[in-house]
């Protein structure tokens, strides 16, 4: 079973390096300062989300970030997988899938009633989430207005 642990302020440098690598892969343009500012509240215990390091404490191989919100449809506190990233050299070994099976158990114990994720249709990312039992809620489309 793959180890996951809550990221803390002392994990900031390792986590920021992985987030930068993830963003490079996805073509997300963000300065290191903006990335650090976005992560700092999560590392300091913000009630709005959490970051987990994946793998050994001293040498993590990935991370995931979950944001929290309130859902009337699901009946309470819900989470959204914002990022899940595994180092390219250790991908396709089932690590991400193990994380997606472990997270709901841990988050349910913390009071979450649902966990969702967005993925482009007909992509390996969608297949990855479906394999971990994520399913379309309905025929809605996720849309975003960037502020």
Could you tell me the residue ranges of all domains in the chain? 4-131
Give tens-digit pLDDT for 87-100: 999 998 989 999 99
What is the average pLDDT across 1-19? 92
pTM: 0.89
Q: How confident is the model at residue 134 (pLDDT cuts 50, 70, 90)?
A: confident
pLDDT given for residue 43 in this prediction: 96
Q: How confident is the model at residue 125 (pLDDT cuts 50, 70, 90)?
A: confident
What is the average pLDDT across 67-93? 93
Specify the residue for token string 């990312």. 125
C-alpha distance across the termini of the chain, in Å: 39
- Among residues 139, 115, 28, 102, which one has the least CA distance to residue 66? 115
Distance, CA of 23 to CA of 112 (rounded, Å): 27
| Fold of the CATH domain 4-131 | Aminopeptidase (3.40.630)
**Helices 32-43 and 12-26, interaxial angle, to 10°?**
130
């Amino acid at each position: 079973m793959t180890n996951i642990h809550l990221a803390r302020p002392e994990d900031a440098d390792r986590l920021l390096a992985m987030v930068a690598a993830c963003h490079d892969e996805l073509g997300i343009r963000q300065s290191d300062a903006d990335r650090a500012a976005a992560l700092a509240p999560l590392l300091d215990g913000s009630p709005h989300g959490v970051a987990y390091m994946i793998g050994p404490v001293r040498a993590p191989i990935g991370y995931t970030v979950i944001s929290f919100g309130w859902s009337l449809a699901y009946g309470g506190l819900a989470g959204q997988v914002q990022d899940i990233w595994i180092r390219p050299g250790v991908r396709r070994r089932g690590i991400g899938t193990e994380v997606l099976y472990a997270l709901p158990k841990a988050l349910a114990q913390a009071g979450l009633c649902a966990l969702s994720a967005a993925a482009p249709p007909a992509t390996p990312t969608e297949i990855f989430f479906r394999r971990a039992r994520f399913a379309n809620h309905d025929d809605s489309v996720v849309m975003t207005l960037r502020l």
